[in-house]
Structure 1
Amino acid sequence: MNREVAIHTGPFTHLDHLVPICLKFDLPLIVTDEKAYAIGKEFYPQISLTLMDPAALSLPFLARSFDTIFTCGKFWALELRPLLQLFQSKQMRFVFCPHGNSDKEAFLQKSGKSVSQDTALVYGPQMEALMKNSAEKLITVGNLREGFYKEHQDHFDKLFEEKFFLNPLKKTILYAPTWETTATGTSFVSSASGVIDQLGDGYNLLVKPHPLLEESHPAHYYRMEGKCSSLPDVHFIDGFPAIYPILEKTDIYLGDHSSIGYDFLLYNRPIFFLSDKAGPLQSCGETINLEELKEKIASKQVELSGVRERVYRTCFEKTPLERAGSKLPPYSESSSSTTATSCSSVSS
């Protein structure tokens, strides 16, 4: 049995982050949710996918079956590592796979609420600097999702086109509100209806709320889904985990604090925010009020092109897919009691 595994227990969107990592490191992927399993089978036929009951992932099973676990769960290392050591005498290695380059983590660190990690994969210099004091080992992998999308672009673009028709005579706007956390709020509750009212007629409007908004604000979530369904060029995106086929078709990005904004920097196109809490991403676009949305959304933002390029370079390594190998650096027992301050890249 492969002693390294990836385990998915979170929102279905985490599949888009885990699958390229699984392919790069030759990992099987275990999912614990039937919806995520069905989505994974449709979107990611390239991966070996197994559906397991969460109850089956017991401490004895994990200790007996694996030496390294890759996961997007922020609390796995913090909560499971000591339990495995105490009850199973198992030194398990946990590799945290970030699900986006969000400014939320920076806000959490400023408030003293960041979560310590065992080993963490990072995209580039910005994330390295952010996590160097909260992870024992950092491994730079760059933007694996971009390379994965380009390698399988025909497959993903076909899935998008089968599900969403875009009027070729209109520009396309992606509205991607994040969910509400202790670090940041969401524009979804206060602004989604107004966004649809102001932009739904003149543009192809893709409304892609964070999947956890369905749990935190179910009534508003379903109300907005219904509102979108009544308009011909407005699409409510649910159950579509792959982000790059959406961004490929997007002319203008509108958001708040979603990490999707960082992904969109690759295209160097106009970015707008419905949030007044400034993070590094906000320097790449314009923060506007809902009342002025329709008037300002057409701005080409030519003067911000260079800023977007610079911020993107600080977020993602330039050629990660070619440089990255297929093996993790060896685990260091001594690192479990110290914090590594240097970053290492994946090497074969």
Structure 2
Amino acid sequence: MKKIAAINFSSAIHLLDHIAPLAYILDIPLYIDDESCSNLLKTYYPEVKHELKRNLAYDFLAKNYDVLISCNYWFVEDKFAFETLNNKNIKLVFCPHGNSDKGHINKVNMLAYTMQDMVFLYGDHMKNLLKTLNVFSKLKNHTTIGNFRLSYYKKFKSFYDKLVDTTIFSKLDPNKKTILYAPTWKDAENSSSFFFVLNKLIEKVPSNYNLIIKPHPNLEEKNPVEFYKLFPTKLLPNIFWLQDFTPIYPLLNRCDIYLGDFSSIGYDFLYYQKPMFFIDPFDRDPKKDPSLFLHSCGEQIKTDNLDNIFSIIENNQNSNFQEKQKKLYDFTFDKYLEIPKIKENILKSI
């Protein structure tokens, strides 16, 4: 029987909500080398078997495991280190950390899929994207795993619903609708709205709404000077700054409205068929640009109309996008499965 482990290198906390549920589902250990990640796992994923190894060396992994799963890409250097330096042909498996429409502009990252011994795919949307980018046919091996994170959330729903209430919603007015602003980071495609939208949101949020601001961890890590120039020192009672809270589905379950740009959280939010609003830094046409595929499931707010962002949200909550949202969700994620079946399917494929 193959020995399998999950890996999360460095302080990549945004990967925890992907790799931790996967480790639980497969009943395998999760190795990390960062203490902050260890603390977050103890708090938010107590059922996951994890071990903090500050010196997470190749020789240890080669000696003890046959298959390694990560939500970060594996590279040829990793394969070389295992095969040449440790005389072990380990299967290196990559599980994407979320579903998005990124890749149409900067295709280099998507080519990394071809370097993996195996890739986990959520469903037809990922397959279609990889085919469009001429990557799918070059995959060494792949299997479809569906929305395993939703299955994990449902398994521990009572725990997570209490957690999200205690941590966040107990501090907000329950009689107000809650808007979640969850921007992506400033990646190679310059996808983020954060740096030109944040101040307007903080200044203009009306008193009859709650606003949760959940910045992508890479906004701080990759652009610290810009980030801290904008970092608010004081917020109104109806604004909640949410950082280092990694469970996504419990948060989405409680939010009424999604506001974002190109974050994969937008695809997760499709499940709830609630109002969605999008900001594209380049104001492109969702009907013509494949990078804006998700934006067809909500209202797009133009960059020259950001002063009216909350009136747009107020006046367009009843727009009928539910049918589109359900259709795209079903296209994105394979059919829903309970945890035992997901485990069985993955182990068969490995």
Q: How many residues align?
A: 326
Structure showing greater relative contact order (alpha-carbon pairs closer than 8 Å, 6 or more residues apart):
1
Shift, 1:92, TM fit: 1.1
Provide the residue aligned with 2:267 in structure 1.
Answer: 262
Q: Which amino acid aligns with 1:25?
A: L
Greater CA drift, 258-267 or 25-34 = 25-34
- Pick closer, same or farther for the CA change 1:2–1:92 going to 2, 3 Å: closer
CA distance in 2, matches of 1:103, 1:27: 30
Query: Contact 2:147–2:333 (CA<8 Å) still a contact in 1?
Result: yes
Select which of 228, 232, 236 maps to 1:231: 236
Does residue 120 of structure 2 align to residue 102 of structure 1? Answer: no
Does residue 207 of structure 2 align to residue 201 of structure 1? Answer: yes
Provide the residue aligned with 1:78 in structure 2.
Answer: 76
Query: Contact 1:68–1:94 (CA<8 Å) still a contact in 2?
Result: yes
Provide the residue aligned with 1:346 in structure 2.
Answer: none
What are the superposed Cα offsets for residues 200-258 of structure 1, whole Å, 9 maximum, x if unpaired?
A: 5331100001001111232443455434x421010111111000111011111111100
Select which of 292, 299, 303 maps to 1:279: 292
2:31 aligns to what SS in structure 1?
A: strand
Q: Which amino acid aligns with 1:104?
A: K
Q: Which amino acid aligns with 2:313?
A: I
Provide the residue aligned with 1:340 in structure 2.
Answer: none
What are the superposed Cα offsets for residues 165-219 of structure 1, whole Å, 9 maximum, x if unpaired?
A: 2212211000011101113421111111111212253311000010011112324
Kindly, what percent of the aligned residue pairs are identical?
Answer: 35
Query: Contact 1:157–1:245 (CA<8 Å) still a contact in 2?
Result: yes
What are the superposed Cα offsets for residues 286-317 of structure 1, whole Å, 9 maximum, x if unpaired?
A: 21131331221121243222111111111011
Select which of 288, 306, 313 maps to 1:297: 313
Select which of 106, 111, 114 maps to 2:111: 114
TM-score by length of 1: 0.87
- Pick closer, same or farther for the CA change 1:233–1:134 going to 2, 3 Å: farther
Q: Which amino acid aligns with 1:19?
A: A
> 1:98-247 alignment to 2 at 5 Å?
98-109=96-107, 114-115=111-112, 116=114, 117-131=116-130, 132-164=136-168, 165-199=171-205, 201-222=207-228, 224-227=230-233, 229-247=234-252
Query: Contact 1:114–1:134 (CA<8 Å) still a contact in 2?
Result: no
CA distance in 2, matches of 1:319, 1:158: 24
Query: Contact 1:23–1:47 (CA<8 Å) still a contact in 2?
Result: yes
Shift, 1:41, TM fit: 0.3
2:129 aligns to what SS in structure 1?
A: helix
Q: Which amino acid aligns with 2:111?
A: S
Shift, 1:77, TM fit: 3.9
Query: Contact 1:252–1:271 (CA<8 Å) still a contact in 2?
Result: yes
Q: Structure 2: which 5+ runs fail to align?
A: 131-135, 285-290
- Pick closer, same or farther for the CA change 1:134–1:206 going to 2, 3 Å: farther
